[in-house]
Amino acid sequence: MKQILQNIRNGLTEIVEVPIPSISENSILVRSSLSLVSAGTEKMLVDFGKSNYLSKALKQPERIQTVLDKVKTDGLQPAINSIMNKLDQPLPMGYSNVGIVIETGKNVTHIKVGDRVLSNGYHAEIVKVPKNMCVKIPVGVSDEEAVFGVIGSVALQSVRLSNPTLGEYAVVFGLGLVGLITVQILKANGCNVLGIDYDSKNLKLAEKMGIETVNLSNNEDIISRANYFSNLKGVDIVIISATSKSNKIIEQAAKISRKRGRIILSGVVGLNFSRQYFYEKELTFQVSCSYGPGRYDYEYETLGFDYPYSFVRWTAQRNFEAVLSLLSKKLLKVKPLISHTYKIKEANQAYKKLLSPEKTLGIIIKYPSKETTVLNKKIFLLNNNHRDTSKTVKKLAFIGAGNYVGNVLASAFAKQPIILKTISSQSGLSCLHIAKKYSFEQITTDVESIFLDKDIDAVVIATQHNTHADYIVKALKAQKHVFVEKPLCISYEELKNIKKVYYSNVDSRNIKPIMMVGFNRRFSPLVLKAKDYIDTKKEPKSIIITVNAGSIPSKHWTQNTSISGGRIIGEGCHFIDLSRFLIGSSIINHSIISMKSDTNDTVSIALTFEDGSIASINYFSNGSKSVIKERLEIYVSNSVVQIENFKSLKIYSNSLTKKKNLWVQDKGQNACASAFIRSMNKNLISPIPINEIFEVADVTLNLAQKLREK
């Protein structure tokens, strides 16, 4: 299917072919009829993409300190790589879509196949949308009207925050798409409305809607007009839907407001304003967030949890419904806002029009009918050439196409003597960029096809943690080698099942497939040097690992124990494995203490080993990002070994000090991938002994259980 992407590094708009998305339990698949280009938001993204690197940085000053911190802790090159990787990721465009439902996921009850719906789907022939971001379109509302529903909700949310009452005076700065819908909603609420803009065409549209206007291109005095408009009392409501770098608009909004007036920002303007007017008038200022409560909330959008109706009357989804209701009652007119209509294959012309001097409002993208849209194509072949296509070369598939895969893991495996055959993700889009960058043969949204493909020798699993166990079992049963990005699993039941399948599964030559967890730190060159040194000391060791992990919001998926297992299972396992590797002896006892918090991710773990060694892992989420993330210390036989952030190694032994510094941080990802491929190609056992993999999983699960019981 076709989808529109934006390259934010160079500003180019692309129409690409990707597989149709796969369904998930709280989602809906929609065959698009129309989608609406947001003239404000999408033009801003294209302009950002076309700007130079300095301009990009200046437009995001809050990110500069993050980059400087990364340079300080990890070095210049990793920071540059991180920036380039971020800019390279294609951005799906669009967020207002109308179409017909072709499939629904588990837990979707309010919508069925065949329904005509409005959603916040992208510009694509088939879109996958959260169930809470999708509503049925009432009879009597055309597709051309309904496609304005999501952008209309942006306007509606700003009006709701202004709390209008009958007869109040309201001013709207900026009469673009959002502004022209905003003035109509205010009017429907019984307000007297004044619209302000430079564009004469938009002003005339507003006037036809019964709105008074101020034409800034004629140098009209806003203050005088607003005073006259409000009978010299000052306006009750100001909604700013304009886009401007200037601070002038917010200052004018304050000047024309009455005492205790309300100012709502739904656009993007300069906010360096004088305190005087806000102080003297006790003005209320609020920023409106997109289409309402639920937007950007992981539990609402992804997990499908709704806010209670009696406590949150107007969510994003209910705002969609309200806009459609206004359209059905003819209280909102949007057809005059349509400037141009283009077919999906003509999308580049649409964006050229968006950037042209000619002013545009609503640009509609039109999609092919059902008969001409391929609905079952979940595998898409790419024209990538490989270094070696002989049958003796092993082929690898990736399940998952997140940031870590795109920035680190795929790069590590691409350096190995193998063929990257398939990469899969639920959306299809996320794996397209990675596939092109690292020359995969094909992309797919059908994960099961990977297990059925006899041409694939090994599978790399890099999905959300609660899926790992199921994919591991399927891969082992299909006689495929497995590399799973940590953790192995998130429950004892999953661990038990993996063990059962692993120990009972052999191929025709009585050889078990390799199963390896991506514990890359044990492959770091500095860690290997440290182990070579301490292995010469035939006595117990003491290890201290300090991890400045940084905070993650409680609603992030990594904090959801049913999805990730929590941070101790998801990340702590790395350091338990590192301790186990360095000591080279079984863990016989373990305990955990935690700092009281909502997330329970600031902890100290104590490990005791069979040979008498001990390890202390301090995994802290309450530190500064400007300090290095990881420090390792080993105490043994009057010696101390220190590794800082996998860039520097120091060995202190009496008066002798040995040092080794790397130009670039090396956590062992490349060596880890190399070890896995080498073992697979040469029919060797796993580079990480299977008993250690299961031991670390068991200890980690037990520590997480102890943490939950406290």
Q: Quick check: is 216 in a domain?
A: yes
Q: Quick check: is 293 in a domain?
A: no
In this structure, the answer to whether residues 416 and 502 fall within a common structural domain is yes
Average pLDDT over residues 80-86: 60
Q: Quick check: is 134 in a domain?
A: yes
pLDDT of residue 361: 87
pLDDT of residue 68: 52
Q: Domain of 494? A: 379-517
> Could you give the residue ranges of the DSSP H alpha helices within 518-591?
525-534, 567, 573-583
Instruction: Give the whole-angstrom CA distance, residue 395 versus residue 417.
Output: 10
In this structure, the answer to whether residues 466 and 550 fall within a common structural domain is no
Q: Which of 459, 483, 517 is the last residue of a domain?
A: 517
What does pLDDT average to over the chain?
A: 89
Q: Quick check: is 292 in a domain?
A: no
> Measured at the alpha carbon of residue 377, what is the angle toward residues 375 and 381, in degrees to the nearest 5?
155
Contact predicate 12/215, CB 8 Å: no
Q: Quick check: is 49 in a domain?
A: yes
For a pLDDT cut of 70, what percent of the chain falls above it?
90
In this structure, the answer to whether residues 62 and 51 fall within a common structural domain is yes
Where residue 80 sits, what CATH number does that domain have? 3.90.180.10
Q: Quick check: is 161 in a domain?
A: yes
Three-state DSSP class for residue 211: coil
Average pLDDT over residues 262-276: 90
In this structure, the answer to whether residues 560 and 649 fall within a common structural domain is yes
At 264, is the pLDDT very low, low, confident or very high (cuts 50, 70, 90)?
A: very high
Q: What is the 3-state secondary structure (H, E, C) of 19-80?
A: CCCCCCCCEEEEEEEEEEECHHHHHHHHHHHHCCHHHHHHHCHHHHHHHHHHHHHHCHHHHH
Q: Quick check: is 438 in a domain?
A: yes
Average pLDDT over residues 447-476: 95
In this structure, the answer to whether residues 604 and 689 fall within a common structural domain is yes
- Over residues 95-142, the pLDDT tens digits come to 899 999 999 999 999 999 999 999 999 999 999 999 999 999 999 999
Where residue 257 sits, what CATH number does that domain have? 3.40.50.720
Instruction: Give the whole-angstrom CA distance, residue 559 versus residue 554.
Output: 6
Instruction: Give the whole-angstrom CA distance, residue 617 versus residue 93.
Output: 44
- 66/705: higher pLDDT: 705
Average pLDDT over residues 293-320: 92
Q: Half-sphere exposure of residue 15, counting CA atoms within 13 Å on the CB side?
A: 15
In this structure, the answer to whether residues 542 and 691 fall within a common structural domain is yes
For every residue of 398-465, DSSP letters joined together read EE--SHHIIIIIHHHHHTSSSEEEEEE-SSSHHHHHHHHHHT-SEEES-THHHHH-TT--EEEE-S-G
In this structure, the answer to whether residues 496 and 427 fall within a common structural domain is yes
In this structure, the answer to whether residues 439 and 467 fall within a common structural domain is yes
In this structure, the answer to whether residues 335 and 283 fall within a common structural domain is no
pLDDT of residue 562: 87
Q: Which of 472, 487, 517 is the last residue of a domain?
A: 517
Q: Quick check: is 527 in a domain?
A: yes
Query: Global pTM?
Result: 0.83
Count of the separate structural domains present in the chain = 4
In this structure, the answer to whether residues 432 and 549 fall within a common structural domain is no
In this structure, the answer to whether residues 138 and 15 fall within a common structural domain is yes
Phi, psi (rounded to 5 degrees) for 586? -65, 150
pLDDT of residue 515: 95
In this structure, the answer to whether residues 273 and 238 fall within a common structural domain is yes
Instruction: Give the whole-angstrom CA distance, residue 394 versus residue 371.
Output: 39
Where residue 685 sits, what CATH number does that domain have? 3.30.360.10
pLDDT of residue 56: 44
Residues whose CB falls within 8 Å of the CB of residue 474, separated by 6 or more in sequence, listed in order? 451
Q: Which of 256, 287, 318 is the last residue of a domain?
A: 287
Residue 46 in this model has a pLDDT that exceeds 90? no
Question: How many angstroms separate the Cα of 138 from the Cα of each of 118, 317, 327, 334, 555?
Answer: 10, 14, 9, 16, 34
- Over residues 422-440, the pLDDT tens digits come to 999 988 778 888 998 899 9
